[in-house]
Amino acid sequence: MQTIIYILPELFLSLTIMFLLMAGVFIKKSFKLVNLCTIASLAFAIVLVLNQADEITKIFNDSYIIDRLSIYMKILTLLFCIFVLLSSKDYLKINKIDKMEYPIIVLASTLGMIIMISSYDLIVFYLGLELQSLCLYILASFKRNEDRSTEAGLKYFVLSALASGLLLYGCSLIYGFTGSTNFEIISNKLDPSNTGAVFGIVFIIVGLAFKISAVPFHMWTPDVYEGSPTSVTSFFALVPKIAALTVFIRFMYVPFVNVFNQWQTIVIFISIASMILGAVAAIGQNNIKRLMAYSSIGHMGYALAGLATGTNSGIQSTIIYLIIYLVMNLGAFGCIFMMKRENTFFENINDLSGLSKNHPILSLSFLIILFSLAGIPPLAGFFAKFYIFMSVIESGMYTLAIIGLVTTVVSAFYYLRIIKIIYFDKPKKPFEQSYDWGLKVSMILSSILILIYFMYPSILIDIVSSVVIY
């Protein structure tokens, strides 16, 4: 009974899922109600997570951990899930996919992510991963009468199942060569001479890299981002990344910490490849969702660069990078949601041309967000990259830092191109002005946070600096 206190958020979320499912079935046209209840329950779950004990607790035979990292990441997951739901309400209604299952599946996938974040055992981790991916497959093909959406869902399903298979193979190798699925026991048993287990690590990294869409396992990202409904794309770009990156951090620094030299090369390679592809491949894109997909691949490359350092400051800079990435992407997708005219949403970059003449405020926040994504000081995106490069240089990996800087410059091109289209091209017909308040709040909030971050950088740094893995 003692342990129930520690899994209150998870229990609460699962009970809410079942309760809302029943409510949604018996009440007619219940999307609005279910959506509202989902947001409220996510907010309540944040309170429950905040209430958790501060010291490290392991429950269920050490297979589930509650520590600083998991608490922070859970709060981030829940918070951004709320924002995604808030900002996508109008989109769902106009596209007629406002079914009551939508928020419930989002909730279930959040539950899966929370389980992943807290997992301290290969089996718990795998079940959490499957729970969240299963929900993501459904969400990707949620607009089922549109070909592109079903194609995205199927593509994601097939590729993700393959990645899960590889991951599971890695897990079984690790289990076979160390004799346990528990992270701590694996960490004690693992050493570089254990070739079989090191072989298993490669497979686990492949699976995890697929989940955060890092090169060379990124193939699904542009197609799935483009094909699925924009509300789902914004969910894809924000929330699963938190869980996957947390698990990445935990895997590398708890069970695999003794074979650091073995996996460091792999992570550096993945990081460099992601940064280069994210910068180069996005140049030719015309669809803004596709562009965001490549941009997120690039950003994940920078986040992994921090992870590859093997120092606590590197991990902390990765977490800060993740948080700022989330805020920027929330704003960017808010802008994409606003590209709406007579109940149709526009996705092409050319549709933005001359936006500044008709919508000065929208284009201003677009400007802020894009400058920040490009990493131009004094916006938050600059600081995110700055911390990463600081810790990378501190640990003496100059090649990684130089490649990172070069790709930043290259990627600035396509962000600046959008700004040029917004400010210097011929204006088109204005977009609609009637926005949902949730969309407005999330967009204004993210723009302001990006803008004023440089005044109080210590707040975020102080919070994150208490996350110490080892």
Scanning 27-142, the segments in alpha helix (DSSP H) are: 31-50, 68-87, 89-94, 101-118, 122-140
Question: Which of 42, 66, 111, 270 forms a contact with other proteins (CB under 8 A)?
Answer: 111
- Say whether residue 61 binds other proteins (CB under 8 A): yes
d(C-alpha 42, C-alpha 26), whole Å: 22
Cβ-based nearer residue to other proteins, 148 or 357: 148
SS3 for 238-260 is HHHHHHHHHHHHHHHHCCCHHHH
The DSSP letter of residue 434 is -
Question: Which of 34, 108, 198, 324 forms a contact with other proteins (CB under 8 A)?
Answer: 108
- Say whether residue 268 binds other proteins (CB under 8 A): no
Rounded to the nearest whole angstrom, what is the least distance from the CB of residue 310 to other proteins in the complex?
31
- Cα distances from 406 to residues 263, 280, 314, in angstroms, run 24, 11, 20
Rounded to the nearest whole angstrom, what is the least distance from the CB of residue 195 to other proteins in the complex?
15
Question: Which of 124, 209, 259, 388 forms a contact with other proteins (CB under 8 A)?
Answer: 124
Cβ-based nearer residue to other proteins, 18 or 459: 18
Token pair belonging to 135: 């929900």
Question: Which of 115, 252, 326, 379 forms a contact with other proteins (CB under 8 A)?
Answer: 115
Place of tokens 């994504």: 373
Question: Which of 141, 160, 329, 365 forms a contact with other proteins (CB under 8 A)?
Answer: 141
Do residues 183 and 257 lie in contact, with contact meaning Cβ atoms separated by under 8 Å? no
Rounded to the nearest whole angstrom, what is the least distance from the CB of residue 164 to other proteins in the complex?
12
Over the Cα atoms of the chain, what is R_g?
21
Do residues 270 and 202 lie in contact, with contact meaning Cβ atoms separated by under 8 Å? no
Rounded to the nearest whole angstrom, what is the least distance from the CB of residue 145 to other proteins in the complex?
9
Contacting range for other proteins; rule: CB under 8 A; set: 68-76, 137-145, 317-325, 446-454: 137-145
Count residues contacting other proteins (CB under 8 A)? 30
- Say whether residue 131 binds other proteins (CB under 8 A): yes
Cβ-based nearer residue to other proteins, 104 or 323: 104
Considering only residues 363 to 422 of the shown chain, the ones binding other proteins according to CB under 8 A are none
If one counts every other C-beta atom within 10 angstroms of the C-beta of residue 396, the result is: 10
Per the DSSP assignment, residues forming a β-bridge with 59 are 64
Do residues 470 and 253 lie in contact, with contact meaning Cβ atoms separated by under 8 Å? yes
The DSSP letter of residue 425 is S
CA nearest to 347, candidates 263, 287, 432, 392: 287
Rounded to the nearest whole angstrom, what is the least distance from the CB of residue 422 to other proteins in the complex?
37
d(C-alpha 319, C-alpha 325), whole Å: 10
Map residues 88-107 to x or -, x wherever contact with other proteins holds by CB under 8 A: -----------x-x--xx--
d(C-alpha 323, C-alpha 316), whole Å: 11
- Say whether residue 17 binds other proteins (CB under 8 A): yes
The DSSP letter of residue 141 is T
Rounded to the nearest whole angstrom, what is the least distance from the CB of residue 330 to other proteins in the complex?
25
Rounded to the nearest whole angstrom, what is the least distance from the CB of residue 138 to other proteins in the complex?
4
Residues that bind other proteins (CB under 8 A): 7, 14, 17-18, 21, 60-61, 63-64, 99, 101, 104-105, 108, 111-112, 115, 123-124, 127-128, 130-131, 134-135, 137-138, 141-142, 144
